[in-house]
Amino acid sequence: MLKNYIKNFFLISSKQLSKYDTKTSQLSALKIILACGFLSIISIVLHNIWYAIQESNTPAIIVDVIYLVASFLPFIIFKQSPQRSAKYCLLVIASSGIVFAATIKNQHILHISLILMYIMPTLGGLFFSVRFAITLSAINLVTLGFILLGAKVNLFPNVDITLPFSFEYLHIFIFMAFNVALPFAAMRILYSLNANSKHMQSLYRRLNRNYALYEEIFEHTGTPTLLCNRHGKVLKANHKAKEFLAKGNINSIENSMINSWMSPISKASSGHYFWESNSTECSLKSSPDVHLELHRSSLTAHGHYVLHLQNITHLKALKLELVNTQETNARIVQFDSLTSFANHNHFCSEVNKRLRKHEAVNTGAMFIIRINQFKLLNKRYGKEQANKIILAFSKSLQNKISDQAIIGRLRGVKFACFVPLSHTYFIQRNLSSLINSILPEQLKIREDLLTIQYQVGVTYFPADGKNAEDLLEHCEMALEYTSEAERISYFDHEIEENLFEEHQLGMELNAAIKRNDIRIWLQPQVNQLGEIQSFEALARWQKKDGSFVSPMVFIRVAEALGLLPKLAENLLRELVSILHVWHRERINTPVAFNLAGQELMNDSFFALLMSLNADHPWLSKLLELEITETSQVMTHPLIHKRLKALSQYGFSIAIDDFGTGQASLGQLVDIPANILKIDRRFIDPLPDDARHLDIVKSTIQLANSLNMKVVAEGIETKQQANLLISLGCHTLQGYYYGKPTPSQEWTENNHAKAKELRMVY
């Protein structure tokens, strides 16, 4: 504990010895000197006071008391300022010499006491400056002369502070000063100087290593690099910079000016200090064709600049080449390569520019032209010849249409035109005549003259849209409502509302199919005696508000959105579950299930149907499959193949809505059907319409000749029923015999209704 206190007091602990500052070593040396001086003085003064009291030497007692107080003052002053303590010590030593010279009568003791003043230069050098130490040494020449000459000072002839032990006291004080205080103080400072020297050597080695590292980094920056001052004088250049700028004369760069090697290209950077810019494009004065880019970064510590040089000659050449090709590429990006008409984006851009100039265009019409049956032409003549048809059409269109019109090719065989109009052409008859007049009726391909048919969707500006995008969108809507009879369709907001309603209905239908909200209802089919012998399963969709959506509507929407397979899957699973219960209760009444053709084309649905048949061997006896004859896929070979497979597994196949769609008499032979359903549109006019009566008679006769059962649907009166029975119709269906009802009505109360109507065989 005491040892640590002493080390901390004298500032000689390992932590304090590791400090390299002069102040710490001076403080440590000063404390050593003060401590030695204090110990010497306090011991001498206490002994001398005791002896002076014995001798009744009042002057000696006064001097000793003064020295006793004076020995404490350095420690008080030291806390406030070490420099003041050092000055105080020098003052005490100097004043002591003067007092000794004036009051000690013994010459030998006086000379020894004056020797203490020789400490002053050492203290001055340790704690102040060399100049101050030299000054003190010069002052001590007076002390030396005083001792050598043996001079006497009689300021106080009656005062003598010499004591019997003065000689011993002086030797003790000199011993402590020259043998302890000064050597240890000097060693403390020398230790600090030595440690500081080693530290400086370490710093020097690190500095050399860092310098070598920075030199290597500077040399290997990867680019020609210069170090220069603010005035553009090159202080240092790496090897790449020397090779790039001076070629063979590499020693001439350093200490030269930057503007003697390069000059700025841009007028904005042509000032005298162009290297101060963050980035400047320059050219070499020795080779003006060589272009370089000068990048500056500041070294704030020294105010110098690091300049990186990048040779951009090849980039300039590439940029020039790019600029030359951009104009060509712009045509590729903005125009159709075959017809040179504007593409979709550029067409919209050009039309919008025209529309923004209200004084140039007050009214106008936009229309989309679509060439009909172009896929067949492409297949017949090949892609190359088909492209010639498109090219011939575009040239004919461009020759016939006004120069004020803007023409674009949207995609495939769709062309868009925007034509400024006078009020005369706002009459649809006049505008239709104008459109028909610019459309070529025939185009020549090889030696053939092809008659071309078109579909056209038309909108008016500004009534139907304020910009090209809206007008094109409304043209597309109008195009969807063209038909064989009406090739030109005009947009109106009712079309938009219908499409929006269909879109909304489609989203609701999709959600309803996922929730399985569309349920099976059953309508009875009776024999000639009015007995139920089968049912037709019909889909019914009741919305949450209680309203019903017509099957004609949601089936059409489901077919357009590709939702029919999923809807049919849900209904089939529900129907099979009903039939499973009926089979267990021995209710063996078959149920007809409608398919629109799209379902049978779906592999997943067909696999489900075959899987259910495998799980329920009785299913083919209770489930009849009705194929809607209006389906466009009715003639697809895959449909025929799968219907034959289903027939082989025992399913009854019925052709629904016969005579209204795609089937022909020849397909009755190809399709393995054993039931023929007469559509309600042929039944409604009966019995009054003789023409429809002949059609029904011939259909029944045709079915009988093919051994097919006939089902007439849509019977609503007794007269219709009696007529069809008399014609030999096997099965009758319609509101006259029963409306469609939820399947639960036939199964509730332990199938009471089904059993009551003798549906159990």
Helical packing angle, 130-149 and 119-127, nearest 10°: 180
β-pair partners for 480: none
* 443's tokens: 């185009």
User: Residue 148 class from Cβ within 10 Å (0-12 exposed, 13-18 middle, 19+ buried)?
Assistant: exposed
Mean pLDDT to the nearest integer, 542-553: 89
Mean pLDDT to the nearest integer, 18-35: 70
- DSSP states of 280-344 as a string? EEEEESS-TT-EEEEEEEEETTTTEEEEEEEE-HHHHHHHHHHHHHHHHHHHHHHB-TTT--B-H
Mean pLDDT to the nearest integer, 690-711: 89
Using the predicted structure, report yes or no on whether residue 521 has a pLDDT greater than 90.
yes
* 724's tokens: 């069809």
Q: Give me the pLDDT at residue 103, please.
A: 65
CB 29 within 8 A of CB 10: no
Q: Give me the pLDDT at residue 710, please.
A: 93
* 669's tokens: 């032979």
Using the predicted structure, report yes or no on whether residue 712 has a pLDDT greater than 90.
yes
Count CB atoms within 10 A of the CB of residue 227. Answer: 19
User: Residue 309 class from Cβ within 10 Å (0-12 exposed, 13-18 middle, 19+ buried)?
Assistant: buried
What's the rounded Cα separation, in Å, for the pair 730 and 150? 168
Percent of the chain with pLDDT over 90: 14
H or E segment at 129? none
**pTM: predicted TM-score of the whole model, two decimal places:** 0.47
Quick: pLDDT tens for 305-340.
Answer: 888 888 888 888 888 878 777 666 666 778 888 888
Quick: pLDDT tens for 191-233.
Answer: 777 777 777 888 888 888 887 788 777 877 778 888 888 888 8
Q: Give me the pLDDT at residue 662, please.
A: 47
Quick: pLDDT tens for 335-348.
Answer: 888 888 888 888 89
Least confident of 158-172, 523-537, 540-554: 158-172
Nearest to 409 by CA among 345, 320, 313: 345
Using the predicted structure, report yes or no on whether residue 133 has a pLDDT greater than 80.
no
Q: Which has more confidence, 15 or 439?
A: 439
Residue 674: C-alpha distances to residues 80, 624, 636 (Å): 125, 10, 19
- DSSP states of 135-200 as a string? HHHHHHHHHHHHHHHT----SSTT-----TTHHHHHHHHHHIIIIIIHHHHHHHHHHHHHHHHHHH
Using the predicted structure, report yes or no on whether residue 513 has a pLDDT greater than 60.
yes
CB 521 within 8 A of CB 741: yes
Q: pLDDT band at residue 621, thresholds of 50, 70 and 90?
A: very high
What's the rounded Cα separation, in Å, for the pair 35 and 71? 10
Q: Give me the pLDDT at residue 761, please.
A: 38
Least confident of 157-161, 445-449, 596-600, 715-719: 157-161
Q: How many CA atoms lie within 13 A of 567 on its CB side?
A: 31
What's the rounded Cα separation, in Å, for the pair 286 and 553? 84
Mean pLDDT (the chain) is: 80
Least confident of 107-121, 147-161, 616-630: 147-161
H or E segment at 381? helix 374-381
H or E segment at 421? none
Alpha-carbon dihedral of residues 631, 635, 638, 644, nearest 10 degrees?
Answer: 100
Percent of the chain with pLDDT over 70: 81
Nearest to 678 by CA among 740, 729, 625: 729
Highest mean pLDDT among 458-462, 574-578, 600-604: 574-578
Q: Give me the pLDDT at residue 722, please.
A: 92
Q: Give me the pLDDT at residue 436, please.
A: 82
Q: pLDDT band at residue 162, thresholds of 50, 70 and 90?
A: low
- Percentages helix, strand, coil for the chain, rounded to the nearest 5? 55, 15, 25
Mean pLDDT to the nearest integer, 149-155: 61
CB 57 within 8 A of CB 163: yes
Mean pLDDT to the nearest integer, 656-675: 68
Quick: pLDDT tens for 31-83.
Answer: 777 777 777 777 777 777 777 777 677 776 777 777 777 776 676 666 556 67
